[in-house]
């Protein structure tokens, strides 16, 4: 049995591009502890009690900035921007003007490009006992995107075992934006084998099928009769290895499920029968990217000294749809000067006997 603990402050004291990095910790009265770093405005650890009262760290990640910088997978727990997920051919048009982005994923642009928000040292603006604000100003033209974009990400740990993430952004020039957090969860604890026994429940009636470049083909299609139907609780292992064109293209689940729930209702949940830990997601975003860690290579050794192979975690990335700048039918990702981009997601943890 692994005894999980938080990383040490001193292992996050480092300098990247001349800016100092740090570790920050929030705790609540029920014993939950969450660690963050300003490198990528990312979540580092989420310690929650399991059904036996033992703390488990349910988030994949590393013990030091050095390990984050060396990692094979760059996105662990990070804020993703300016544009989460893929933009086809690394280009889009706004008011007739063409913008060209770096193609860092085959012919796509992925997660804001190689020097996206996950690689920036964010400023910590304010801190309260249970809240932390990270702020970053992305200059006009950074990674090919127009407009000086000011972004604030506020994390709050509530007494209800919730991590709330609020995003706020403003621009001085018309631009596109899609922000998310790339938390990799394993509800048995990071480094604790695969997540195939986890039971998922997602009320989405529709999902976005993808082409061979992992770009949504067109409109959402009904999940009815597909392997993407999680409207009744379903073990992840049930369908994930079935012979299916969509699963082949994603190398597993790597698809947007269309969120049909208001912010007050659970948009997705996952439960581990072993730990008894359940994660509930509430969001204002129109989509949830269900990603089953298919491309995790096993090269990364995580916080408790164990490797992170394929399917050793899952992500519920709340966001707008991939490639939206090139698809006029998708909810708009355009941000105008004078408007505010506001979005909120809650990751809530609880203990259950069954799903
Ligand atoms: C994407 C995957 C990608 C991964 C990279 C996810 O958000 O959906 O396709 O491989 O991020 O970590």
Q: What are phi and psi of 54, to 5 degrees?
A: -85, 145
Check if the beta carbon of residue 161 is closer than 8 Å to that of residue 348. Answer: yes
Q: Which parts of 194-306 fold into alpha helices (H)?
A: 245-250
96's CB contacts (< 8 A; 6+ apart) are: none
Report pLDDT for 2: 86
**Which atom of ligand 1 is found nearest the CA of 214?**
9
**Mean pLDDT, the chain, integer:** 97
Distance 297 CA to ligand 1 centre (A): 13
Check if the beta carbon of residue 100 is closer than 8 Å to that of residue 94. Answer: no
Binning pLDDT at 50, 70 and 90, where does residue 354 land?
confident
Is residue 218's pLDDT more than 90? no
Report pLDDT for 176: 98
- % of the chain beyond a pLDDT of 70: 100
Pocket of ligand 1 contains residue 85 by CB under 6 Å = yes
Report pLDDT for 93: 98
Cα angle: 62, vertex 309, 118; to 5 degrees: 45
Is residue 1's pLDDT more than 90? no
Kindly list the structural domains of the chain, giving each domain's residue range(s) and its CATH number in brackets, ordered by start.
9-351 (2.70.98.10)
* Mean of pLDDT values over 14-19: 97
Is residue 129's pLDDT more than 90? no
* Mean of pLDDT values over 282-291: 98
Residue 186 Cα to chain centre, angstroms: 13
**Distance from C-alpha of 317 to C-alpha of 181, rounded to nearest angstrom:** 6
* DSSP SS3 for 140: coil
- Please give the positions annotated as active site: 182, 317
Report pLDDT for 353: 79
**Distance from C-alpha of 54 to C-alpha of 49, rounded to nearest angstrom:** 5
Pocket of ligand 1 contains residue 254 by CB under 6 Å = yes
Is residue 281's pLDDT more than 90? yes
Mutate to test the pocket of ligand 1, among 111, 117, 215 (most ligand atoms within 8 A of CB): 111
To which residue do tokens 């049909």 refer?
A: 260
Please give the residue that has the higher pLDDT: either 353 or 146. 146
pLDDT digit string, tens, across residues 331-351: 999 999 999 999 999 999 999
pLDDT digit string, tens, across residues 253-265: 999 999 999 999 9
| DSSP-assigned beta bridge partners for residue 26 | 34
To which residue do tokens 């050095």 refer?
A: 66
DSSP assignment of 158-206: -TTSEEEEEEEEEESS-EE-B-EE---B-TT-TTSS-STT-EEE---SE
Binning pLDDT at 50, 70 and 90, where does residue 85 land?
very high
Distance 328 CA to ligand 1 centre (A): 23
Nearest CA residue ID for atom 1, ligand 1: 85
CB atoms inside a 10 Å sphere around CB 238: 13
Report pLDDT for 37: 98
Is residue 127's pLDDT more than 90? no
177's CB contacts (< 8 A; 6+ apart) are: 81, 82, 83, 149, 169, 171, 333, 335, 341
Measured in Å, how far apart are the chain's first and last C-alpha atoms?
Answer: 24
Distance 85 CA to ligand 1 centre (A): 7
**Which atom of ligand 1 is found nearest the CA of 182?**
7
Report pLDDT for 56: 98
127's CB contacts (< 8 A; 6+ apart) are: 24, 133
Report pLDDT for 238: 98
Residue count (the chain)? 355
**What does the block give as tokens for 119?**
């690689």
Report pLDDT for 206: 98
Report pLDDT for 104: 98
């Amino acid at each position: 049995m692994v005894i999980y603990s938080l990383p040490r402050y001193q292992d996050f004291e480092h300098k990247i591009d001349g800016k100092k990095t740090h570790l920050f910790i929030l705790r609540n009265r029920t014993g939950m502890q969450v660690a963050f770093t300003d490198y990528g405005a990312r979540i580092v650890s989420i310690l929650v009690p399991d059904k036996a009262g033992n703390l488990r760290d349910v988030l994949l990640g590393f013990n030091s900035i050095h390990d984050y910088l060396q990692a094979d997978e760059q996105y662990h727990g990070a804020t993703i921007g300016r544009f989460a997920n893929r933009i086809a051919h690394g280009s889009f048009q706004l008011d007739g003007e063409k913008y060209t982005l770096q193609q860092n994923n085959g012919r796509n642009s992925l997660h804001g490009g190689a020097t996206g928000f996950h690689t920036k040292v964010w400023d910590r603006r304010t801190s309260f006992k249970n809240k932390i604000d990270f702020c970053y100003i992305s200059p006009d033209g950074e990674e090919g995107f127009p407009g000086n974009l000011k972004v604030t990400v506020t994390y709050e740990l509530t007494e209800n075992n919730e991590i709330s993430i609020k995003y706020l952004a403003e621009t001085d020039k018309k631009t596109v934006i899609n922000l998310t957090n790339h938390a990799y969860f394993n509800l048995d604890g990071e480094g604790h084998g695969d997540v195939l026994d986890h039971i998922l429940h997602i009320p989405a009636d529709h999902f976005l099928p993808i082409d061979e470049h992992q770009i949504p083909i067109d409109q959402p299609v009904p999940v009815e009769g597909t392997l993407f139907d999680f409207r009744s609780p379903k073990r992840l292992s049930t369908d994930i290895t079935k012979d299916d064109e969509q699963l082949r293209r994603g190398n597993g689940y790597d698809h947007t499920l269309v969120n049909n729930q208001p912010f007050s209702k659970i948009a997705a949940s996952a439960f581990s029968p072993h730990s008894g830990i359940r994660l509930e997601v509430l969001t204002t975003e129109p989509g949830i990217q269900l990603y089953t860690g298919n491309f995790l290579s096993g090269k990364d050794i995580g916080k408790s000294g164990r490797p992170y192979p394929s399917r050793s975690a899952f992500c519920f990335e709340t966001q707008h749809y991939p490639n939206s700048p090139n698809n006029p039918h998708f909810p708009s990702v355009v941000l105008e000067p004078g408007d505010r981009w506001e979005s909120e997601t809650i990751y809530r943890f609880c203990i259950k006997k069954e799903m």
